[in-house]
Amino acid sequence: MATSRIEAFKQMLESDPENTLVRFGLANEYLKAEQYEESILALSDYLQRADDEGAAFGMLARALEKVGRREEAREAYQRGIEAAELHGHPSMAEDYRMTLEADYEDS
């Protein structure tokens, strides 16, 4: 099922390559399918094109954690905090702070 959703998002992206919402959707489908490297690439591409409000940074951090890239994950959480605060999402920023404190304080 995930593969067909991934293929659907890829097809949508082919017909509308500048659609950041489709890029976000594709990245999310890769993450759900546990295709972490693909998700990292798709999220990085999305984040270069979009003014994310914080959610994509959290997704990126989780994918980076799954492949053992903890320092990059920490940076993604930090950027997610900044984006969430900038866009008025204090609970998201606090969730990311709590994750950093719980999982990264010794790193």
CATH of residue 7's domain is 1.25.40.10
For residue 54, what are the domain limits?
A: 2-104
pLDDT class of 1 with cuts at 50, 70, 90: low
**pLDDT value, residue 104:** 86
Instruction: Specify the pTM.
Output: 0.92
Express each pLDDT in 41-84 by its tens digit. Answer: 999 999 999 999 999 999 999 999 999 999 999 999 999 999 99
The total number of structural domains in the chain stands at 1
Residues with Cβ within 8 Å of residue 3, at least 6 apart in sequence: 33
CA distance 105 to 42: 28
Mean pLDDT of all residues belonging to the chain: 95
